[in-house]
Protein backbone atom coordinates (compact mmCIF):
# COMPACT_ATOMS: atom_id res chain seq x y z
CA UNK A 1 0.00 0.00 0.00
CA UNK A 2 1.24 3.50 -0.74
CA UNK A 3 2.26 6.01 1.92
CA UNK A 4 -0.53 8.63 2.16
CA UNK A 5 2.11 11.37 2.64
CA UNK A 6 4.03 10.54 -0.53
CA UNK A 7 3.00 11.75 -3.98
CA UNK A 8 1.03 9.30 -6.11
CA UNK A 9 3.17 6.99 -8.22
CA UNK A 10 2.24 5.54 -11.58
CA UNK A 11 4.21 2.57 -12.88
CA UNK A 12 4.12 1.77 -16.59
CA UNK A 13 5.60 -1.34 -18.15
CA UNK A 14 7.35 -0.87 -21.49
CA UNK A 15 8.97 -3.35 -23.88
CA UNK A 16 9.28 -1.46 -27.15
CA UNK A 17 6.00 -2.75 -28.60
CA UNK A 18 3.35 -0.46 -30.09
CA UNK A 19 0.93 -1.25 -27.26
CA UNK A 20 3.58 -0.45 -24.66
CA UNK A 21 4.08 2.91 -26.41
CA UNK A 22 0.33 3.51 -26.12
CA UNK A 23 0.48 2.50 -22.45
CA UNK A 24 3.31 4.99 -21.90
CA UNK A 25 1.22 7.76 -23.51
CA UNK A 26 -1.70 6.93 -21.20
CA UNK A 27 0.60 6.81 -18.17
CA UNK A 28 2.12 10.21 -18.97
CA UNK A 29 -1.34 11.74 -19.26
CA UNK A 30 -2.48 10.08 -16.01
CA UNK A 31 0.66 11.33 -14.24
CA UNK A 32 -0.13 14.88 -15.38
CA UNK A 33 -3.77 14.60 -14.28
CA UNK A 34 -2.92 13.07 -10.88
CA UNK A 35 0.26 15.14 -10.30
CA UNK A 36 2.00 11.81 -9.85
CA UNK A 37 5.53 10.54 -10.18
CA UNK A 38 6.02 8.27 -13.19
CA UNK A 39 8.13 5.13 -13.09
CA UNK A 40 8.76 3.77 -16.57
CA UNK A 41 9.84 0.16 -16.09
CA UNK A 42 11.58 -2.02 -18.66
CA UNK A 43 12.03 -5.57 -17.38
CA UNK A 44 14.60 -7.62 -19.22
CA UNK A 45 15.15 -11.34 -19.02
CA UNK A 46 18.03 -13.02 -17.28
CA UNK A 47 18.75 -16.70 -16.95
CA UNK A 48 17.03 -18.46 -14.06
CA UNK A 49 20.23 -20.31 -13.19
CA UNK A 50 23.29 -18.07 -12.95
CA UNK A 51 26.03 -18.61 -15.50
CA UNK A 52 29.44 -18.56 -13.84
CA UNK A 53 32.98 -17.83 -14.92
CA UNK A 54 34.10 -15.42 -17.61
CA UNK A 55 31.29 -16.57 -19.93
CA UNK A 56 28.71 -15.70 -17.28
CA UNK A 57 30.14 -12.24 -16.73
CA UNK A 58 30.18 -11.59 -20.46
CA UNK A 59 26.59 -12.80 -20.77
CA UNK A 60 25.21 -10.59 -17.98
CA UNK A 61 27.24 -7.58 -19.13
CA UNK A 62 25.87 -8.00 -22.68
CA UNK A 63 22.28 -8.43 -21.48
CA UNK A 64 22.58 -5.26 -19.39
CA UNK A 65 24.08 -3.28 -22.29
CA UNK A 66 21.28 -4.41 -24.62
CA UNK A 67 18.62 -3.56 -21.99
CA UNK A 68 20.06 -0.06 -21.49
CA UNK A 69 20.03 0.43 -25.27
CA UNK A 70 16.41 -0.72 -25.53
CA UNK A 71 15.33 1.56 -22.69
CA UNK A 72 17.16 4.50 -24.30
CA UNK A 73 15.31 3.89 -27.60
CA UNK A 74 12.00 3.83 -25.75
CA UNK A 75 12.88 7.02 -23.85
CA UNK A 76 14.03 8.82 -27.01
CA UNK A 77 10.76 7.95 -28.81
CA UNK A 78 8.51 8.79 -25.83
CA UNK A 79 6.15 11.76 -25.75
CA UNK A 80 7.28 14.76 -23.74
CA UNK A 81 7.44 14.27 -19.99
CA UNK A 82 8.23 17.93 -19.31
CA UNK A 83 7.05 18.98 -15.88
CA UNK A 84 6.84 15.42 -14.57
CA UNK A 85 9.06 13.57 -12.15
CA UNK A 86 10.07 10.51 -14.18
CA UNK A 87 12.30 7.59 -13.32
CA UNK A 88 13.39 5.33 -16.20
CA UNK A 89 14.17 1.88 -14.80
CA UNK A 90 15.76 -1.16 -16.40
CA UNK A 91 15.13 -4.08 -14.06
CA UNK A 92 16.39 -7.63 -14.59
CA UNK A 93 13.77 -10.30 -14.20
CA UNK A 94 10.51 -11.74 -15.39
CA UNK A 95 8.36 -8.81 -16.63
CA UNK A 96 5.19 -9.79 -14.79
CA UNK A 97 7.06 -10.38 -11.52
CA UNK A 98 8.95 -7.08 -11.85
CA UNK A 99 5.77 -5.10 -12.54
CA UNK A 100 3.77 -6.81 -9.79
CA UNK A 101 6.54 -6.02 -7.30
CA UNK A 102 6.67 -2.39 -8.55
CA UNK A 103 2.90 -2.15 -8.00
CA UNK A 104 3.36 -2.48 -4.22
CA UNK A 105 4.10 1.23 -3.85
CA UNK A 106 2.08 2.44 -6.84
CA UNK A 107 -1.21 4.22 -7.20
CA UNK A 108 -1.73 2.77 -10.69
CA UNK A 109 -0.03 0.21 -12.93
CA UNK A 110 -0.34 0.74 -16.69
CA UNK A 111 0.45 -2.01 -19.23
CA UNK A 112 -0.31 -2.74 -22.85
CA UNK A 113 -2.70 -5.60 -23.48
CA UNK A 114 0.03 -7.49 -25.35
CA UNK A 115 3.77 -7.06 -25.70
CA UNK A 116 6.41 -8.19 -28.14
CA UNK A 117 6.09 -11.88 -27.35
CA UNK A 118 3.36 -14.44 -27.62
CA UNK A 119 0.50 -14.80 -30.04
CA UNK A 120 -0.91 -11.73 -31.83
CA UNK A 121 -4.45 -13.12 -31.78
CA UNK A 122 -4.72 -13.03 -27.99
CA UNK A 123 -6.80 -10.26 -26.47
CA UNK A 124 -4.47 -10.07 -23.49
CA UNK A 125 -0.94 -11.36 -23.13
CA UNK A 126 0.54 -13.24 -20.21
CA UNK A 127 2.23 -10.23 -18.57
CA UNK A 128 -0.89 -8.05 -18.60
CA UNK A 129 -2.99 -10.99 -17.41
CA UNK A 130 -0.64 -11.68 -14.50
CA UNK A 131 -0.62 -7.99 -13.58
CA UNK A 132 -4.42 -7.81 -13.58
CA UNK A 133 -4.65 -10.84 -11.30
CA UNK A 134 -1.80 -10.15 -8.87
CA UNK A 135 -1.09 -6.42 -8.80
CA UNK A 136 -1.18 -4.57 -5.49
CA UNK A 137 -2.91 -1.55 -7.05
CA UNK A 138 -5.43 -0.83 -9.82
CA UNK A 139 -4.27 -1.79 -13.33
CA UNK A 140 -5.03 0.02 -16.56
CA UNK A 141 -4.67 -2.29 -19.56
CA UNK A 142 -4.35 -0.37 -22.82
CA UNK A 143 -5.83 -2.22 -25.78
CA UNK A 144 -4.98 -1.87 -29.44
CA UNK A 145 -6.59 1.16 -31.06
CA UNK A 146 -6.96 3.12 -27.82
Closest CA to 45 of 101, 109, 90: 90
Q: Reduced to 3 states, what is the DSSP secondary structure of residue 109?
A: strand
**48-65: buried (b, 16+ CB within 10 Å) or exposed (e) per residue?**
eeeeeeeeeeeeeeeeee
| Contact (CB, 8 A) for 11 and 42 | no
Class of domain 9-13+26-142: alpha beta
Q: For residue 27, is pLDDT > 60?
A: yes
| Contact (CB, 8 A) for 135 and 15 | no
Q: For residue 117, is pLDDT > 60?
A: no
Helix-then-strand count for the chain, H and E: 4, 5
Q: For residue 138, is pLDDT > 70?
A: yes
Instruction: Categorize the per-residue pLDDT at 97 as very low, low, confident or very high, splitting at 50, 70 and 90.
Output: very high
Instruction: Categorize the per-residue pLDDT at 114 as very low, low, confident or very high, splitting at 50, 70 and 90.
Output: low
The pTM assigned to this predicted structure is 0.86
Dihedral (CA of 44, 119, 97, 8) sign: positive
Amino acid sequence: MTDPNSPPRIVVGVDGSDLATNALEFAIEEARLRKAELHVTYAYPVMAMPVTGSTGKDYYDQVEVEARGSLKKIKDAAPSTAGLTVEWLGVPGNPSEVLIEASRDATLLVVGSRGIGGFRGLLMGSVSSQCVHYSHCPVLVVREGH
